[in-house]
Amino acid sequence: MNEVRVETTMFDTRLFRPAGPVKPGERDWPSFRGAINLAMREEMRRDPFVFQMGEDIASASPFGVTSGLVSEFGRERIRDAPCAEVAIVGAAVGAAIGGMRPIVEFQFGDFMSVAIDQLTHQAAMLRYLTGGQVRVPMVIRLPCGGGQGAGAQHSQSLYSWFAHVPGIKVVLPSTSMDAKALMKAAIRDDNPVLFFEHKQLYRTRWPVSAAFHDPDHVGEFGRAIVRREGTAISVVATLTMVHHALAAAAALAEEGISVEVIDPLTLVPFDTATVVDSVRKTGRLLVVDEAYLNFGVQAEVIATVVERAFDSLEASPRRLGNPGVPVPFAAPLQDDVLPGQARIAAAIRDLVRA
Amino acid sequence: MLALMRTMLLIRSVEAAWADAYRAEEISGIPPSLSIGHEAIAAGACAALVDGDFVFTTHRGQAAQVARGLEPRRILADLYCRRSGYNKGKSYHVTDVSRGVIGMGGIVAAQVPVAGGMALAQKMRGTDRVSLAFFGDGASNEGAVHESANLAAMWTLPLILLCENNGYCITQRDSEAIKAPSIAGRAAAYGLPGVVVDGADPLAVRDAVAEAAARARSGAGASLIEARCERLTGHLVHDPQCYRSTEELDAAWRRCPILLYGQRLESMDLLDQEGLSRLRGEVDAEVAAAVGWARAQPFPALHEAYEDIWA
């Protein structure tokens, strides 16, 4: 149990509490939440039709992602909204049809359940239903994920609900660099985009390339990143699990196991080619995500690979995730339910020996 | 005033044609949801709007589509699932963005939050245009309406909430679903003005919407209007309304907006019975030609099923 607990403390476990001192070596690295903030700031400067709605985003941004924006853009463009998710998402849909580019913040992504009709039936379908007459360019930012003792209704990773239905792009950034580039792409996209932000990543800091500071550097959806190259197994991981997988891969390298780690970055569109090519090379596949395993994103990735590269597989693909329980409130239980470095390493060893 | 009568007759005729097409099995799928009995609301409301205003329809949206000036033949093409329709056969909630009509109604009340968003865009873009959300008495009990009304009040949105209270949510009488004496009375709780108008009277509706639109254009914000009418046909065409007595239906038909407005125009010496018959004949001929055109249009090509998902 203690071993597992160490895994989830790899990131920030202190929900809402102020950041601790920045490590000297990370001082020049942008934080994950700062990267999203900068992307939104640049796009709001560039495009007067971009605006934001959400609860407390102007007065006291809950995770600090919108901090400082109201002083530059004012309360017309950084709109504190009443606690009314249906009206807010609907307002985003209507405003988008009316030529604006809304960004909506949900305090916890789990609350998307409250307004799911406005997303899946209105935002996602209206273009199709009108024979292509309308565009619905909008971004909904959804803080997600467990590991912070936030309880069952504030800790989920529900992207498979939305990747399942037509018309919604789904983005899962895992470092400051891709968070900024993909947020800019999301704002410029003419379709509804869900931007999932793992809460454990908000205060983490990451090294970036020079392009990070270029306001014209915009990410591309549907392009996975091979975070680490390897030959024995392909691990597809998302959000914080990317970093758990990389830590596991580094440890396994000392055992002589060469692990390739792929971060899809977007589920819709999904970079099938990069994953399939990797599996053709390694012959083995492990998919890791915090989401519930049942009918989940992990299964979809495996099915996609099996359909295309069955002959290359040297072992049955495996998946790790929440086995299908509400994310527990008590930290030891929570950490047992969610996957992490040790469980990833164990699964890799099993697969490579199979 | 005659133009309102013509609009109401055109709505009635389009609806009759759609119902006939279903009964004759020329079209399949979900039965038509007719706006027969609602004509005065759509005709009156749209007469108070201008280009650039937007309306968001219910699943009985044909009345508003006709009243906003959409071509009956293209509306019918959509109802016949043809590719020459506005929606290219992809939905019977007809949309024409160029005339400010967003066809919604597949999900009860969902159009109301979206209309609020359009009003927000109209306001943020510095226009004096307004959005109008049609919704029914059934929808008035949905959270989407309450949230949107509150948001519109808080943000002073140029939004008109126009409730078409036809007394029935499918088979349920409004008195079995709404405790309060009126839906408009809820406006006070949102901090909005609310009025009840006779939904069988296109002039009363026009005046109420004109007042709400003037308020919205001036920057004073949203309004709630409850227009009371009769649903003269079933919830959908196949519904024989067995849950309503003959006496009740007879009384409802005595409140037919076309009947009442015709009597009014006659009493004002603006339109006699002969003139009304002539007008009806013109409109019916126009719709018959529209049906002929719609029938002759091709269905969408199969590849179109896979288009228009992404912008």
Q: What is the pLDDT of residues B28-43, one digit of tens each?
A: 889 999 999 999 999 9
Cβ atoms B113, A118 nearer than 8 A: yes
Q: Band of the pLDDT at A2, cuts 50, 70, 90?
A: very low
Q: Band of the pLDDT at B186, cuts 50, 70, 90?
A: very high
* Superfamily of chain region A30-213: Thiamin diphosphate (ThDP)-binding fold, Pyr/PP domains (3.40.50.970)
**What is the side-by-side strand order in the sheet with A138-144?**
A78-80, A50-54, A101-105, A138-144, A192-198, A169-171, A266-268
Quickly name the fold that domain A223-353 has: Rossmann fold (3.40.50)
3-state secondary structure of A182: helix
**Best mutation site among A100, A129, A187, A221 for testing chain B: the one with the most B CBs within 10 Å?**
A129
Tally the domains of chain B. 1
pLDDT in tens, B67-114: 999 999 999 999 999 999 999 999 999 999 999 999 998 999 999 999
Shortest CA gap B255–chain A (Å): 34
C-alpha distance from residue B63 to each of A108, B56, B251, B290 (Å): 41, 12, 22, 16
Cβ atoms A160, A106 nearer than 8 A: no
Closest in B121, B125, B144 to A86, CB measured: B144
Helical H runs in chain A? 2-8, 32-46, 69-77, 85-97, 116-117, 126-129, 159-163, 176-188, 239-253, 272-282, 297-309, 331-337, 341-353
Angle between helix B72-79 and helix B273-296 axes, rounded to 10 deg: 50
* Chain A residues within 8 angstroms (CB to CB) of chain B: 51, 76, 79, 81-82, 84-100, 102, 117-118, 121-122, 126-137, 166-167, 190-191
pLDDT in tens, A15-33: 666 666 778 888 889 999 9
User: Which pLDDT belongs to residue A7?
Assistant: 45
ipTM: 0.97
- B311 within some domain: no
Say whether pLDDT at A8 is over 70.
Answer: no
Rounded Cα distance between A160 and B64, Å, is 38
pLDDT in tens, B119-149: 999 999 999 999 999 999 999 999 999 999 9
Say whether pLDDT at B170 is over 80.
Answer: yes
Residue type, A24: P
Closest in B106, B122, B147 to A98, CB measured: B122
Single out the catalytic residue among A42, A85, A105, A290: A85
**Best mutation site among A79, A86, A126 for testing chain B: the one with the most B CBs within 10 Å?**
A86
Mean of pLDDT over chain A = 94
Matching residue, tokens 């959804």: A142
Partners of residue A144 on adjacent β-strands? A198
Say whether pLDDT at A259 is over 80.
Answer: yes
Which tokens belong to B123? 């306001």
Q: Give the domain range for residue B100.
A: 2-122+130-294
Cβ atoms A270, A321 nearer than 8 A: no
Angle between helix B143-154 and helix B111-124 axes, rounded to 10 deg: 20
User: Which pLDDT belongs to residue A62?
Assistant: 86
Domain locations in chain A as residue ranges: 30-213, 223-353
pLDDT in tens, A193-245: 999 999 999 989 999 999 999 999 999 999 999 999 999 999 999 999 999 99
Domain A223-353 in the same topology as domain A30-213: yes
pLDDT in tens, B198-245: 999 999 999 999 999 999 999 999 999 999 999 999 999 999 999 999
Q: How would you label A312-329 residue by residue, b for 16+ Cβ within 10 Å and e otherwise?
A: bbeeebbbbbbeeeebbe
3-state secondary structure of B36: coil
Rg from Cα positions in chain B: 19
Any idea what the CATH number is for the domain that residue B9 is in? 3.40.50.970
User: Which pLDDT belongs to residue A1?
Assistant: 31
- B306 within some domain: no
Q: Which residues contact B14 (CB under 8 A, 6 or more apart)?
A: B62, B66, B72, B75, B76, B287, B290
pLDDT in tens, A121-166: 999 999 999 999 999 999 999 999 999 889 999 999 999 999 999 9
Phi and psi at residue B178, in whole multiples of 5°?
-130, 115
Phi-psi label, residue A312: left if phi above 0, alpha if psi -120 to 50, beta otherwise? alpha
Rounded Cα distance between B287 and A29, Å, is 68
Q: Is A154 marked active-site? A: yes
User: Which pLDDT belongs to residue A19?
Assistant: 64
User: Which pLDDT belongs to residue A24?
Assistant: 82
pLDDT in tens, A266-325: 999 999 999 999 999 999 999 999 999 999 999 999 999 999 999 999 999 999 999 999
- B228 within some domain: yes
User: Which pLDDT belongs to residue A10?
Assistant: 59
User: Which pLDDT belongs to residue B135?
Assistant: 98
User: Which pLDDT belongs to residue A61?
Assistant: 85
User: Which pLDDT belongs to residue A18?
Assistant: 63
